[in-house]
Amino acid sequence: MDTIGVGLIGSGFMGKCHALAWSAVKPVFGSNRTPHLVALADVDSDVATKRATEFGFERATADWRDLLADPAVDVISITAPNQFHAEMAIAALGAGKHVWCEKPMAPTLDEALAMRDAAAASDAVAILGYNYIQNPAIRHIAKLLGEGAIGRVSHVRFEMDEDFMASPDAPFGWKHDAASGYGALDDFAVHPLSILHVLIGDVREVMIDMAKPFDDRATADGSRRAVETYDVASALIRLDDGISGTLLVSRAAWGRKGRLAIQIFGTHGAILFDQERGNELQLYRSEDPVGEQGFRTVLTAPIHSPYDRFLPAPGHGLGFNDFKTIECHELLECIADRNGMTIDFDVGLTIERTVHAMARSFETGQWQEVNPAD
Amino acid sequence: MDTIGVGLIGSGFMGKCHALAWSAVKPVFGSNRTPHLVALADVDSDVATKRATEFGFERATADWRDLLADPAVDVISITAPNQFHAEMAIAALGAGKHVWCEKPMAPTLDEALAMRDAAAASDAVAILGYNYIQNPAIRHIAKLLGEGAIGRVSHVRFEMDEDFMASPDAPFGWKHDAASGYGALDDFAVHPLSILHVLIGDVREVMIDMAKPFDDRATADGSRRAVETYDVASALIRLDDGISGTLLVSRAAWGRKGRLAIQIFGTHGAILFDQERGNELQLYRSEDPVGEQGFRTVLTAPIHSPYDRFLPAPGHGLGFNDFKTIECHELLECIADRNGMTIDFDVGLTIERTVHAMARSFETGQWQEVNPAD
Amino acid sequence: MDTIGVGLIGSGFMGKCHALAWSAVKPVFGSNRTPHLVALADVDSDVATKRATEFGFERATADWRDLLADPAVDVISITAPNQFHAEMAIAALGAGKHVWCEKPMAPTLDEALAMRDAAAASDAVAILGYNYIQNPAIRHIAKLLGEGAIGRVSHVRFEMDEDFMASPDAPFGWKHDAASGYGALDDFAVHPLSILHVLIGDVREVMIDMAKPFDDRATADGSRRAVETYDVASALIRLDDGISGTLLVSRAAWGRKGRLAIQIFGTHGAILFDQERGNELQLYRSEDPVGEQGFRTVLTAPIHSPYDRFLPAPGHGLGFNDFKTIECHELLECIADRNGMTIDFDVGLTIERTVHAMARSFETGQWQEVNPAD
Amino acid sequence: MDTIGVGLIGSGFMGKCHALAWSAVKPVFGSNRTPHLVALADVDSDVATKRATEFGFERATADWRDLLADPAVDVISITAPNQFHAEMAIAALGAGKHVWCEKPMAPTLDEALAMRDAAAASDAVAILGYNYIQNPAIRHIAKLLGEGAIGRVSHVRFEMDEDFMASPDAPFGWKHDAASGYGALDDFAVHPLSILHVLIGDVREVMIDMAKPFDDRATADGSRRAVETYDVASALIRLDDGISGTLLVSRAAWGRKGRLAIQIFGTHGAILFDQERGNELQLYRSEDPVGEQGFRTVLTAPIHSPYDRFLPAPGHGLGFNDFKTIECHELLECIADRNGMTIDFDVGLTIERTVHAMARSFETGQWQEVNPAD
């Protein structure tokens, strides 16, 4: 069959992002099945109708379960809030639909485990929306590492920082409530971990510290309430083969807007990347002539596949939403039984186990192993 | 009517770029009429059919004139080679269609003039594809200048450089033949001039030098042929109000991939921009406290409209194709009799007159006025 | 008295650096007593004679104790290897000489403690050669923090990286022997700690991990020997007032030559610095107008005292040796009973206690307090 | 003889800069004759005495001609205002002294010519203070170009910008009076021309435009006076071998503090440099593997001689005054009949002829040749 029927749950920013990807993937890549935008579900039926029209979906519904019952729907994009991911993904897989679920998997490890099991029990494809790994710059770093461009990797440093919690004047919100999780750890750590997985490998042991830049914040009634989450988290990490590293995250880092800074050191060079300048990477090769060694700023270009599917000339720049289109293409490759590069539910579970080990480390003040049997 | 019928002529890179914009504009902006992709024309009918399917057009044709006759087509994207622009645009306007024509207008001033006259005689909207001006960073610079953030502008420097002609081993091609024009001047100068128009104003006088980095190049038969075009052009420019500047272009600048570097100096500050890092601008304000003055690297953000239509968080980055989607939205605003920011055929003609004045300056070795009556 | 007699122990790189500072301090600052270069001691008497001539010292000696006995010597620069610092500094102070001793104080805490006690018992001035704090950029950061330019500091990240141990082909050397200490921890950590002290405060608790990028290295006899020291160290740190942070060092970080990168986050902004571009700092103020916020790259200038003593124009750049001249001036200010900004033996001891606490943390795998009573 | 007697005329910033260089050159380089600071002349005898003490000169005088008569003086540093250069340099050479004269040579070509002739008629060494060429980064660029690292050079762009005239509130001063020269052209153009000479060659033809950002400025009596000089100058330049380029200068460029930006494009690569980050250069080689090409940021290092004379480790940074010390060393090499790299009076004259040709170009509005017989 030449088309593939798409259902979308959620129509906020990530819903729009998925919709754009589904619209662009065929014009950009050409080779895939043509997405047919069947139905959009949003809990607010007016919003559902409005967004379905804007995004080009044929039907709108306030009940996401309608998508499961619809034989025209082959794949479901899940962009609802995190606490619904498990229920929706498991149901969709049970209905034989492919699943493209936004990260993270779920608030609790048990739910994530159930999602993984549902995916394992299904013939359908189930992937998570970790689109930073789809940036041609990141994919080229993976290629360089695979070719041994910087030799054996020995040390890595990852930072992910934004400043949306940096203002002391921001009022107490749900993200300051312990019910929302640990804070920056939950918001950000999974992203660098997804990139670590693709580039180097998984984390084996963690030691973490977390901090609250603000003790309390103003509430609507004029009083102040103690902040229960941590806007800053700093982790020491150990991987296989003696690789050491750090993973530092903050959502209170003034001036950082979408920083995802990577430093990878190897026996014969180093690679740097920062998402804020996401159309370039920096490469240092110790084999360069003495006196001419330096970090090369490599701008992404058609040679860094699949940049060429978007633009014929180097240095003209892709954007965040383009990475989502690439992810959509990779999903379609998986569905077509080809070799799509994605974070599936197995890997996703490992990532979440790592985050939970970090949380345990903070509670115990001790190094923790990332136990695959947790 | 809620939809607008789209015809597309050409299906190469720029055709794809237009198609992506037509697909994305409604999901991104929401408020526009919904594009209905009616028909795609490409001189090769097999290609036309293939691309129509990929890009989501209903019909394909090898004859672009079919689009003129089609009542379902309201607007025509012209992405065919430059020498066909005049004929196509004039015919489309004559058929009452809106026109979105890729830059530049036409190889000769006479043709450009005829296009301008056709647009003036029509009720339809006619704009040119100068999408660099749609970058939220550029639009924010326009806003800053309008607010007097750096005072009165006194001096500007523009550079546009790439390296696709930099290799001595590249064979003689059509771009080295004088029939293709002057070289880098034609390839690049119109882009900075479009930005100059939007940010500051039009050029009044020009003095230029051009150069050939390579005297000759290898031909297919093993001989060498003299290069007739100029890969490098350097212009002194004068604008109104005593504003001076330079406009430097090269297509033989090794290492430059999509450089479009801007320096604007005013009485109270300066602004810098480089398209290779197109998601940021730099602002220097002389009113900042002494000892703390410096260029601020401002990352584009939702506050820099219409970045917010694409992404809810700052610093996550738009790409080249996103700027085309913004341009498409501005076109739809114009068609809806709202205030779209575009380069219309009037302004486009002024830009091309400037380029022709530069060519005359090179031939005469003298300063030349940009004569509106040329 | 208008002159001050100088003795110098050691004539390697740091000896040369001290000699240059002693020669430059009067022309640069004008206001100080005039250094009189009395005598240079180097264990190799030929070298001592040669360097004394080059550096402009009147006399040379192979016995550093000669300097103690010389009434013409008022102050002694100690640039001999670390293991001699304690003996020399204590003897010099005992002889009533002022002491300018290169960092670190000594290999063992006991020796450092004895040095501190000798300084406390003396009327002379005793300081350590932590010249990074003398960079006008760092001093301006101190001023900005003091003025509350970024509000209350909540989080800091320090990195110090070089690549002189990055090559797998470097043979086993004394720095790979456990007798030399812990490795990168000893080589580098004291520098960021000196800056931390000046800018923010002292470290209270530490948790560290260390790593060996290379298990073994080639020896002169063709065999391989296990590396006993750690080229990489990564520390979580806690300061007073809930300030959290990280301190990461590596001497095997390919591409890093003199990186000393600082990130300081406050409630109203952030400050960045990197010694590799040591003539600039970056400042982000959250009070800047919305839409114009960004890191300002501030180039050092005459307003950033004492840059003005070296150069009358901004942006022209000081070098590493200039910072030593500033340090020399601060020492002379201390000697003149004015307010010199230096790291004295008290603070130096705190810095070394911090390093020792880090070492304990690695051995125990536990958080360690920096105990002032160690 | 092992020492060399030094006389210094002038004790402002450049006088101090020369004094520091004379003090540092022996400790830094070791191999030269030892400078003996004999006498300092300043028109104000109190200042002369004060500075002589600070700078370490034995004697002070208010009459610079005393230096000529002093047999202990072998070499004279001339740092008096430009209008005195010719008289002083010619007299010094006539007295058999070596001359180290600050740039530019003199306000008029006739005077410069007389200086050149005096140097030609003398056995003494006569050089000009163009110390930017002494930066190890610039010297390494010269080496790279000499080795063909970027192939044959085809195009160059030089910019030199500062902002000390950028404020509209700065009062009318002598630099706004036509008697001071043309403005930015005189202030800055000679620096890039000195670098061009060292790196690539001399300019053959020029075409220039100049501009006044401000028509008038406030005077002390509260009125306004028309500005007679040009704060901005932009030149098209042609060199031998078909090399084209631009040379742009401004002293009203807000935000630029010590910018001296260089872009050199060749047939196999490109090199970039900016004095504001003067301890690094950028190199692009088209022979680098496809997909890994980019500008390498090369930090200066001991391998970039004579950086090694100042610092043993890379990336630690030299400053502006260090370049003067290198220049002093090169002068001593010339005096010792060795191969010092300096700008002598012959080359200096060519540089000034180029500036004068630029001025003629502005007056005539025509291209002008740099005529060696002017």
In tens, the pLDDT along C62-119 reads: 999 999 999 999 999 999 999 999 999 999 999 999 999 999 999 899 999 999 999 9
Same-domain status, A324 and A264: yes
Residue by residue, DSSP assigns A143-169 as HHHHTTTT-SEEEEEEEEE--TT--TT
What is the per-residue pLDDT for A364?
Answer: 97
pLDDT at D117: 97
Q: How far is CA A193 from the centre of its chain?
A: 9
CB-based contact, C280 to chain B, within 8 Å: yes
Q: What is the CA A315 to chain-centroid distance, rounded?
A: 24
By C-alpha distance, the chain D residue nearest C312 is D13
- In terms of Cβ atoms closer than 10 Å to its own Cβ (0-12, 13-18, 19+), residue D34 is middle
Q: Which of A234, A252, A269 is nearest residue C254 as measured by Cβ atoms?
A: A269
In a domain, A211, yes or no: yes
Min Cα–Cα distance to chain B from A188, Å: 14
* Residues 6+ away with beta carbon under 8 Å from C103: C128, C129, C130, C190, C191, C194, C343, C348
What's residue C146's pLDDT?
A: 98
Tell me the residue ranges of DSSP E strands in chain D: 3-9, 34-41, 59-61, 75-78, 98-102, 126-129, 153-161, 203-211, 216-218, 224-226, 232-239, 244-250, 259-266, 269-274, 280-285, 295-299, 343-344, 368-369
What CA–CA distance (Å, rounded) separates C358 from C360?
A: 5
Cβ–Cβ under 8 Å, residues A356 and A364: no
pLDDT at residue number B154: 98
**Nearest by CB: C257 against D55, D256, D315:** D315
Cβ-Cβ contacts under 8 Å, A234 against chain C: 236, 244-246
- Any A CB within 8 A of D242 CB: no
Strand partners, B344: B127
Is pLDDT of D372 > 80?
A: no
A207 in C contact zone (CB under 8 Å): yes
The type of residue at B254 is W
Q: Does D350 touch chain B (CB under 8 A)?
A: no
Separation of alpha carbons D268 and D152, rounded Å? 7
Higher pLDDT, residue A371 or B209: B209
Q: What is the pLDDT of residue D1?
A: 52
Whether residue B78 lies inside any domain: the answer is yes
Q: Is A291 on the interface with D (CB under 8 A)?
A: yes
User: Across the interface, do A315 and B13 touch by the CB < 8 Å criterion?
Assistant: no
Q: Find the closest chain A residue to D284 by CA distance.
A: A296
Contact assessment for residue A248 and residue A233, using Cβ atoms and an 8 Å cutoff: yes
Cβ–Cβ under 8 Å, residues D331 and D125: yes
Say whether D27 and C56 touch across the interface (CB within 8 A): yes
Asked if residue D113 lies in contact with residue D371, where contact means CB atoms within 8 angstroms, the answer is: no
Q: Could you tell me if D294 lies within 8 Å of chain C, comparing CB atoms?
A: no
Average pLDDT of span D130-153 = 97
When pLDDT is averaged across residues B216-222 and rounded to a whole number, the result is 94
Helix, strand, coil % (nearest 5) of chain B? Answer: 35, 25, 35
Chain-chain contact of C293 with B292 (C-beta, under 8 angstroms): no
Contacts of A288 in chain D (CB under 8 A): 296
pLDDT tens profile B340-354: 999 999 999 999 999
- Clarify whether residues A221 and A142 are in a common domain: yes
Do the chains contact at A267 and C168, CB–CB below 8 Å?
yes
Question: pLDDT tens digits, residue range A136-172?
Answer: 999 999 999 999 999 999 999 999 999 999 999 999 9
Does residue D374 lie within any of the structural domains? no
Query: How many structural domains does chain D have?
Result: 2
Looking at the fold, whether D225 and D139 belong to one and the same domain comes out as yes
Q: Do C294 and B304 touch (CB under 8 A)?
A: no
Q: Is the CB of D252 less than 8 angstroms away from the CB of B265?
A: yes
Does D321 touch chain B if contact means CB atoms closer than 8 Å?
no
Examine the pLDDT at A1 and tell me if it is beyond 80. no
Question: Does D157 contact B at CB distance below 8 Å?
Answer: yes
Q: What is the 8-class DSSP label of residue D170?
A: S
Q: Are A181 and A153 in contact (CB under 8 A)?
A: no
Q: What pLDDT score does D31 carry? A: 81
Tell me, yes or no, if A315 comes closer than 8 A to chain B by beta carbon: yes
Which two three-digit tokens encode residue C71? 């009434």
Of A259-263, B7-11, C1-5, D190-194, the one with minimum mean pLDDT is C1-5
One-letter amino acid for residue C92 of the chain: A
Please answer yes or no on whether D292 and A304 come within 8 Å at the CB atom: no
pLDDT digits (tens, 9 = 90+) for D315-329: 999 999 999 999 999
Is there a contact between D138 and D195 (Cβ–Cβ < 8 Å)? yes
Question: Domain for residue A372, yes or no?
Answer: no
Out of D79, D113, D132, pick the residue that ends a domain. D132
Q: CATH number of the domain that C270 lies in?
A: 3.30.360.10
Q: What gap in Å lies between CA B63 and CA B88, rounded to an integer?
A: 11
Q: Would you say residue C373 has pLDDT above 70?
A: no
Average pLDDT over every residue of A184-196: 96
The answer to whether residues C123 and C153 belong to one domain is no
- Domain at A40, CATH number: 3.40.50.720
Per-residue pLDDT tens for D53-88?
999 999 999 999 999 999 999 999 999 999 999 999
Would you call A82 an interface residue with chain C, using a CB distance cutoff of 8 Å?
Answer: no
What tokens appear for D160 in the block?
Answer: 């030199």
Smallest Cβ–Cβ distance between A213 and the set C155, C286, C295 belongs to C155
Q: Which of D140, D288, D297 sits opposite A291 (nearest CB)?
A: D140
Q: Residue A244 is nearest to which of C150, C209, C284, comparing CB atoms?
A: C209
Q: Is A246 on the interface with C (CB under 8 A)?
A: yes
DSSP for D243-283 reads -EEEEEEES--TT-SSEEEEEEEETTEEEEEEGGGTTEEEE
Residue C370 lies in a domain: no
Q: How many CB atoms sit inside 10 A of residue B81's CB?
A: 11
Per-residue pLDDT tens digits for C180-202 = 889 999 999 999 999 999 999 99
Based on the fold, state whether residues A38 and A151 are members of the same structural domain.
Answer: no
Q: Which of A150, A279, A293, A300 to mutate to test the interface with D (most CBs of D within 10 A)?
A: A293
**Residues of chain D numbered 7-46 and touching chain A (CB < 8 Å):** none
Confidence class for position B374, pLDDT limits 50, 70, 90: low
Pair A319, A198 in one domain:
yes
CB A160 within 8 A of CB A256: no
Task: Residue B280: list chain C partners with CB under 8 A.
Answer: 294
Interface test with A, best of C163, C205, C234 (most A CBs within 10 A): C234
Query: How many CB pairs (< 8 A) connect C and D?
Result: 137
Mean pLDDT value across residues C19-45 = 95
Strand partners, B233: B210, B249
| Residue among D104, D65, D74, D70 at smallest CA distance from D86 | D104
Cβ contact, residue pair B232, D155, below 8 Å? yes
Q: What angle is formed at CA D287 by the lines to CA D295 and CA D261, rounded to 5 degrees? A: 30
Residues β-bridged to residue A261: A159, A274
- The minimum CA-CA distance between D360 and chain C, rounded to whole Å, is 30
Whether B367 contacts chain D with CB within 8 A: yes
Q: How confident is the model at residue A32 (pLDDT cuts 50, 70, 90)?
A: confident
Domain end position, chosen among D132, D148, D174: D132
Are B343 and B40 a contacting pair, CB within 8 Å? no
The answer, for C258 touching chain A at a CB cutoff of 8 Å, is: no
According to DSSP, the β-strands at D259-266 and D203-211 are unpaired
Please check whether residue B292 touches C, CB under 8 A. Answer: yes
Residue C129 phi, psi (nearest 5): -85, 70
> Cβ contact (<8 Å) for A211 and C166?
no
**Nearest C-alpha in A relative to D144:** A292
CB contact, 8 Å: C311 with chain D? yes
**Average pLDDT of C230-239?**
98
Q: Name the 3-class secondary structure at D143.
A: helix
Residues B177 and B204 reside in one and the same domain:
yes
Q: Which two tokens stand for residue A70?
A: 């619809």
Of the pLDDT bands very low, low, confident and very high (cuts 50, 70, 90), residue B308 is very high
Are residues B132 and B194 in contact, defined by beta-carbon separation less than 8 angstroms?
Answer: yes
Q: Do A298 and D293 touch (CB under 8 A)?
A: yes
Question: Taking CB atoms and an 8 Å limit, are A292 and D283 in contact across chains?
Answer: yes
Question: Å from D18 to nearest chain C CA?
Answer: 10
Distance from CA of A228 to the nearest CA of B (A): 24
Give the single-character DSSP code of C234.
Answer: E
Check whether residue C82 and residue C189 sit in a common domain: no
Contact D318 C315 (CB under 8 A): no
D314 touches chain B (CB under 8 A): no
Query: Is B173 found in the same domain as B96?
Result: no
- Average confidence (pLDDT) over B91-97: 98
Indicate whether C178 and C244 sit together in one domain.
yes
| Domain end (from C132, C151, C179) | C132
Distance from CA of A51 to the nearest CA of B (A): 8
**Which residues form the domain of A204?**
133-364
Chain C residues close to A272, C-beta within 8 Å: 255
Helices (H), chain C: 13-29, 45-55, 65-69, 85-94, 109-121, 136-146, 184-188, 190-199, 307-310, 320-335, 345-364
pLDDT digits (tens, 9 = 90+) for D164-217: 999 999 999 999 999 888 999 999 999 999 999 999 999 999 999 999 999 999
D54: chain C residues, CB-CB within 8 Å: 26-27, 30
Kind of pairing between the strands at C75-78 and C3-9? parallel
SS3 C211: strand
Chain C residues touching residue D316 (CB < 8 angstroms)? 257-258, 275, 319-320
Q: Are B275 and B140 members of one domain?
A: yes
Shared domain for A302 and A177, answered yes or no, is yes
In a domain, D220, yes or no: yes
C-beta contacts of A31-36 below 8 A and 24+ residues apart: A32/A329, A32/A332, A32/A333, A32/A336, A33/A1, A33/A2, A33/A3, A33/A4, A33/A332, A33/A335, A33/A336, A34/A2, A34/A3, A34/A4, A34/B53, A34/B56, A35/A3, A35/A4, A35/A6, A36/A3, A36/A4, A36/A5, A36/A6, A36/A72
Q: Is residue D373 part of a domain?
A: no
Angle at A209 between CA A203 and CA A211, to 5 degrees: 135
Q: How far is CA B188 from CA B7, B158, B247, in A?
A: 27, 11, 10
Q: How confident is the model at residue B371 (pLDDT cuts 50, 70, 90)?
A: confident
ipTM of the complex: 0.96
Would the pLDDT of C374 be above 90?
A: no
How far apart are the CA of A246 and the nearest CA of chain B, in angstroms?
Answer: 23
Residue C371: inside a domain: no
